[in-house]
């Protein structure tokens, strides 16, 4: 049986272009005992994947050249030689970017798509949602009345962080890159204030001062660079800063320079923590249960940007760095 896969053809320098990906036709092996054939329904594209395209050690190992890109996928079982999974089951796993693949059933998890859309397992009930939940709750430890600032506030993680912070009784100020996103977060996601960092330009520092009159108690950073510089200069005593992403710097191979904020960290007795959600793996069931409860109670909402067609995967991925997504960016395969 034939399938199409997408391999990393070259390591990007700076902003990746479509030619770092190569589509290949492959012949799939026959199923062995314990294996299933999986056909993706939704394939997740995530900013952290940019880091894996570099040949540099990080918390996840680099993608190998000429090997399929791997990522989170929701798919359905279309053939099975396993007792664990049967044809028609909806599963999630870390799979190659391929139109079909043969997987060991034990590497897949069956999901219940009756409560929430199956795609939510790649978003609000997947890595982004759990990242938001554990990053904010365990490192941020929000208290009612505190001010929480979120960069990348309309992204898959940021959108959830802001809503959880509101549930905790915090003042929530977001930063996003378009008026459409600003309005969405204010009108539908309960953000107290949202700053369009693109149009505000050099007024960002004053805007943060205005919108955070009691300074910034928690900064949930998905973006880095100039935005973080301005927020770090406005942190409160005992501020907690969660470094969850640095998307503004992922495509900059050289190390750039920014404001030296360590004196603020010292005088404000602040905490900065680089965040890796997999440190919380043992608590994922608890996190998913809490997120599911909030969704059922109508306290937590989600948005997805769904691009259609397997061949659009590179375009969807590249769109993350141009801010094309509102909420979770996904590719729907059929």
| Binding positions for a copy of itself, rule: CB under 8 A | 51, 56-59, 221, 224-225, 228, 233, 237, 243-246, 249-250, 255-260, 262-263, 265-276, 279
Give residues with Cβ within 8 angstroms of 231, minimum separation 6: 149, 151, 208, 216, 219, 221
DSSP letter at 318? H
Whichever of 250 and 310 has its CB closer to a copy of itself, that residue is 250
In whole angstroms, how close is the CB of 259 to a copy of itself at the nearest point? 5
Whichever of 169 and 237 has its CB closer to a copy of itself, that residue is 237
Whichever of 77 and 235 has its CB closer to a copy of itself, that residue is 235
In whole angstroms, how close is the CB of 270 to a copy of itself at the nearest point? 5
Whichever of 143 and 260 has its CB closer to a copy of itself, that residue is 260
In whole angstroms, how close is the CB of 197 to a copy of itself at the nearest point? 17
DSSP per residue over 122-150, as a string? GTTTSHHHHHHHHIIIIII---TT-EEEE
Cβ contact 95:70 at 8 Å: yes
Q: Name the nearest CA neighbour of 105 among 120, 117, 87, 122.
A: 87
In whole angstroms, how close is the CB of 141 to a copy of itself at the nearest point? 14
In whole angstroms, how close is the CB of 239 to a copy of itself at the nearest point? 9
DSSP letter at 62? P
Computed over its alpha carbons, how large is the radius of gyration of the chain? 20
């Amino acid at each position: 049986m034939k399938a199409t896969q997408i391999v990393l053809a070259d390591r990007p320098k700076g902003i990746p272009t479509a030619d770092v990906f190569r589509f290949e036709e492959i012949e799939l092996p026959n199923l062995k005992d314990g294996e299933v054939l999986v056909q993706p329904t939704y394939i997740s594209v995530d900013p952290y994947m940019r880091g894996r395209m570099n040949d540099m050690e990080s918390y996840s190992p680099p993608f190998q050249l000429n090997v399929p890109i791997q990522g989170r996928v929701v798919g359905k079982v279309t053939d099975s030689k396993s007792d664990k999974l049967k044809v028609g089951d909806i599963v999630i796993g870390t799979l190659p970017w391929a139109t079909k693949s043969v997987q060991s059933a034990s590497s897949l998890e069956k999901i219940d798509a009756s409560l929430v859309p199956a795609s939510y397992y790649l978003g609000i009930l997947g890595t982004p949602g759990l990242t938001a939940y554990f990053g904010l709750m365990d490192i941020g430890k929000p208290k009612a009345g505190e001010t929480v600032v979120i960069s990348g506030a309309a992204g898959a993680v940021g959108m959830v962080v802001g809503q959880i912070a509101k549930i905790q009784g915090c003042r929530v100020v977001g930063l996003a890159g378009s008026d459409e996103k600003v309005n969405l977060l204010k009108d539908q996601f309960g953000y107290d204030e949202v700053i369009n960092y693109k149009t505000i330009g050099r007024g960002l520092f004053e805007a943060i001062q205005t919108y955070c009159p009691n300074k910034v108690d928690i900064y949930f950073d998905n973006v880095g660079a100039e935005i973080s510089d301005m927020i770090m200069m406005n942190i409160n005593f005992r501020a907690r800063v969660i470094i969850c992403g640095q998307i503004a710097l992922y495509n900059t191979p050289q190390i750039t320079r920014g404001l030296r904020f360590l004196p603020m960290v010292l005088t404000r007795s602040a905490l900065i923590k680089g965040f890796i959600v997999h440190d919380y793996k043992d608590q994922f069931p608890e996190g998913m249960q809490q997120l599911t409860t909030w969704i059922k109670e109508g306290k937590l909402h989600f948005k997805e940007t769904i691009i259609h067609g397997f061949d659009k995967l590179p375009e969807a991925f590249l769109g993350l760095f141009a801010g094309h997504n509102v909420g979770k960016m996904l590719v729907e395969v059929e």
